[in-house]
Amino acid sequence: MSLVWFGIVTVIGAEIGLLTPPLGISCFVIKTSLNDPDITFKDVFMGALPFAGIMLLVLILLIRFPSLSIGILG
């Protein structure tokens, strides 16, 4: 196991945790900084959902194919 691969997988996993409930710290910061009563937490989380989905797909690919994280193809 490469430590570079482990670090990349760990960081991407942490980023997903920052965007999705129940933690979603980034979403709470965005909601607080908007200062608009018409925008709900649900709106913010639903806006972040596509990004979290793509990051989850990338995480799965990196776990399945570790060589992608260190640039060795083949």
DSSP string, 33-52: HH--TTS-HHHHHHHHHHHH
Query: Where are the chain's structural domains?
Result: 3-70
Question: CA–CA separation, 38 vs 56, rounded Å?
Answer: 29
Q: Out of 1-5, 7-11, 39-43, which region has the weakest mean confidence (pLDDT)?
A: 1-5
pLDDT tens, residue by residue, 41-55:
899 999 999 999 999
* Res 74: pLDDT: 57
Q: Record the tokens describing residue 23, joined without a space.
A: 């933690």
CA distances from 68 to 9, 51, 72 (A): 11, 20, 6
pLDDT mean over 15-21: 87
